Amino acid sequence: MLRTAYPAALWVDLLKSEEYRRYLERPELLRRRIEALSPRPNFVVIDEVQKVPGLLDEAHWLHENLGVRFALCGSSARKVKRGHANLMGGRALSYRLEGLVSAELGDSFDLERVLNHGTLPRIHLSERPAAYLAAYVADYLKEEVAAEGLVRNLPAFSEFLNVAALSDAELVNFSTIARDCGVSSPTIKGYFDILADTMLGHWLPAWRRRPKRRVVGAPKFYFADVGVAGYLAKRGRVAPGSELFGKALENYVFHELRAWNQYREAGAVLAFWRLGSGIEVDFVVNDMEAAIEVKAARKITSDHLKGLRHLRQDHPEVGQLLIVCLEEQAWRSDDGIDVLPVRDFLRRLWAGNILRGRAESI
């Protein structure tokens, strides 16, 4: 994407071993290289910048003194943060590129394909998703975790990935996962932080403002890509009507909400609402602007609406009440709950008819 957008940019690719070693040993070579060029480049791309955090000081100086602009991209912020690197002090804008969304896929959007292949472009388009997913996970363990020295016990972390995937879209119980992996609970907490810092997953906090009844405070964790989660959890192919299809659908709706929030620059706060009794609503937006429940059902019954109705009892100020499902037609219940097929929900979301964003297009 950056090569297409900035074809004339000077490119520093830290995946190349010789460039990585050169700049790791002497980050100042970047400044000297740019100062020596004529004409001087006004745009520079540094790929995988987290591998050499020292380059951020040079980029800062070049921007301040020579007006050089940079695109600094990478797949992990963890090493940058831990190395106390120069974070540009408000001079840089941060963007996160998510997996494919329905608005990008357009007429080629296929829900079953998305839930089984995932949203990573090459894997989504492949007819051999399992092979590509296996390679993706292996590369992640090799390049992101082992090469960066993020964990001491790589076999335990590899086992953790499989166990954590079984808890995708569920409340996280560190003690249970620690017992299954044979490590301590603090270690498991650290492992989850690695997933978040390397953009392989995201936390979803519990909504706890002004509770009228006892609510759950533990967060949920979602893998960033539904295909990766399915591969690690050994789900096989998920089909409509199965419990695993419902879990995959919930993961994907969260992906779309997060991507919408990023690309629209909406600044929305996403959470989930759950009573101590187990009654819950999958997603709450901002201060009860909207509440969204996901059900992989072809026919919505009163029982499916129970969570939304309990939420409204406790929070009558709630705005839209939505249930995303597999029904063929949209309809509204007698008490104002909108029942939306997946495609309708996604189309309305990106059209700005469900949540409000600051931008008009992706």
User: CB-hemisphere CA count at 13 Å for 155?
Assistant: 1
Q: Is 95 inside a domain boundary?
A: no
Give the whole-angstrom CA distance, residue 118 versus residue 285: 24
pLDDT of residue 30: 96
Dihedral of alpha carbons 302, 305, 311, 315, sign: negative
CB atoms within 10 A of CB 349: 25
The answer, yes or no, to whether the previous bond of 121 is cis (omega within 30 of 0) is no
Q: Is 252 inside a domain boundary?
A: yes
pLDDT of residue 181: 92
* Shared-domain flag, residues 163 and 259: yes
* Shared-domain flag, residues 136 and 270: yes
- In terms of residue numbers, what domain contains 323? 102-350
Let me know the angle formed at the C-alpha of 229 by 225 and 231, rounded to the nearest 5 degrees: 115
Q: Is 49 inside a domain boundary?
A: yes
pLDDT of residue 79: 59
pLDDT of residue 215: 78
pLDDT of residue 248: 97
Tokens at 281, concatenated: 């609503």
Q: Are strands 220-223 and 270-274 parallel, antiparallel or unpaired?
A: unpaired
> What is residue 2's three-state secondary structure?
helix
Give the whole-angstrom CA distance, residue 60 versus residue 64: 6
Based on the structure, what is the number of domains in the chain? Answer: 2
pLDDT of residue 276: 86
Put simply, whether the predicted model's pTM sits higher than 0.85 gets the answer: yes
Query: 242, 243, 250, 198: which is closest to 220 by C-alpha?
Result: 250
Q: Are strands 320-325 and 290-294 parallel, antiparallel or unpaired?
A: parallel
Which of 90, 115, 143 represents a domain boundary (last residue)?
90
pLDDT of residue 361: 35
* Shared-domain flag, residues 124 and 74: no
pLDDT along the chain (362 residues), means of 10: 93 94 96 93 92 91 93 74 57 86 96 97 94 91 72 88 93 93 93 88 89 80 96 93 94 97 92 92 94 97 96 94 97 96 97 68 33
Q: Are 246 and 169 in contact (CB under 8 A)?
A: no
Q: Is 33 inside a domain boundary?
A: yes
* Shared-domain flag, residues 168 and 312: yes
Q: Are 175 and 184 in contact (CB under 8 A)?
A: no
Q: Phi-psi bin for 257: left (phi > 0), alpha (psi -120 to 50), beta?
A: alpha
Q: Is 96 inside a domain boundary?
A: no
